[in-house]
Amino acid sequence: MVKITRNHIFLIIIILTLVGVMSTAVAYTGTGFSHNKTVSDYNSLSIKNILDKYNNTTYKSEASGLCTKVYDGDTIYVEGVGKVRLVGVNTPEKGVKGADASKYFVEKLCLNRVVHLNIDDSKHHDKYSRTLAVVIVDGKNLNEILLKEGLAEIMFIPPSEFNPHNWANSDTPSSTNQKTSDPHSGNGQAGTYIGNANSLKFHNPSCKSVPKISDKNKITFSSREEAINKGYSPCKICNP
Ligand SMILES: [Zn+2]
């Protein structure tokens, strides 16, 4: 029979405290990326409303299947393929602001529909064995659309066949197909803006400063408001 001493009681208290601390540990937040879009920004829009703004992608379908589950804005399940991680982009983790809107958007476009994939030739899988791919929905690049809608941030992990900076910086087709009723188009400058995480300035994509920004400091914003909300100020040369 072990004699319970005061030291034993101390030890038990310490162990119980540690267990308590670990069980209330904060949820995983990934990069901490968040955005201000909400489910109500999208629930009245049809798939066609959303996709009509965007050009067809030139990426070819290398695999396809029914999407039977959306885990979050950047991970889906495709029958015959398995878990697919949308390459080059990152959406807010569960519990982080914007996570619900990003997931809702992807559910709207993918869930119970056949999607096509262009798999990353440079790296087929991530460390969790998820297939890395561009998801093609009705001929459009969903990864690119998530960036342009402000629902995802760029997450460029070389080696990769795809450079998401090119998606974010490419012409926003919505500028040729403006919807004047769109509350997010503001003054008609619904295109993307490029931020420099080092200088905390943001630019028009055409600004001569943009090519000088290193990839690791380059951030894309879908609106002026987003850039300003994140603490960036407009460049005095290009006046974005
Ligand atoms: Zn500039």
pLDDT band at 77 (very low <50, low <70, confident <90, very high): very high
**CA 236 – ligand 1 centroid, Å:** 7
Categorize the per-residue pLDDT at 20 as very low, low, confident or very high, splitting at 50, 70 and 90: low
Whether 23 shows a pLDDT value over 90: the answer reads: no
pLDDT at 171: 67
Contact 215, 192 (CB under 8 A): no
Neighbours of 16 (CB within 10 A): 10
What is the structure's pLDDT at 25?
58
pLDDT tops 50 at residue 83: yes
Half-sphere exposure of 25 (CA within 13 A, CB side): 6
Radius of gyration of the chain (CA): 22
- Ion ligand 1: residue ranges with CB closer than 5 A: 203, 207, 209, 235, 237-238
- Looking at per-residue pLDDT, the higher value among 181 and 114 belongs to 114
- Structure confidence by residue, pLDDT tens digits, 30-42: 889 999 999 999 9
pLDDT digits over 168-208, tens only? Answer: 877 654 333 333 333 333 343 445 899 999 999 999 988 99
Say how many Å lie between the CA of residue 77 and the centre of ligand 1.
40
- The span from the CA of 132 to the CA of 124, in Å, is 6
CA 11-15-16 angle, 5° bins? 115
**Which pLDDT score is estimated for 2?**
63
What is the structure's pLDDT at 142?
A: 98
pLDDT recorded at residue 71: 98
Cβ contacts of residue 8 below 8 Å, gap of 6+?
2
Report the mean per-residue pLDDT for the chain: 86
CA of 208 to the centre of ligand 1 (A): 7
Residue 234 binned pLDDT confidence (cut-offs 50, 70, 90): very high
For residue 238, report the distance from its CA to the centre of ligand 1, in Å: 4
SS3 20: helix
> Mean pLDDT throughout 23-51?
88
Per-residue model confidence (pLDDT) at position 194: 93
Tokens of 116: 């096509």
CA-to-CA separations, 228 to 1, 186, 193, 200, 212, in angstroms, rounded: 68, 14, 11, 10, 21
Q: What is the mean pLDDT of residues 35-60?
A: 95
Whether the predicted pLDDT of 18 surpasses 70: no
CA 239 to ligand 1 centroid distance, Å: 7
- pLDDT more than 70, % of the chain: 85
Comparing 12-26, 49-63, 82-96, 169-183, the range with the smallest average pLDDT is 169-183
The per-residue b/e assignment along 74-97, b for 16 or more CB within 10 angstroms, e otherwise, is bbbbbeebebbbbbbbbbbbeebe
Least confident of 19-28, 40-49, 215-224: 19-28
Task: Report how far ligand 1's centroid is from the alpha carbon of 195 (Å).
Answer: 9
Task: Enumerate residues 6+ apart whose C-beta is below 8 A from 49.
Answer: none
| 190 CA to centre of ligand 1 in angstroms | 17
Q: Report d(CA 237, CA 199) in Å as an integer.
A: 14
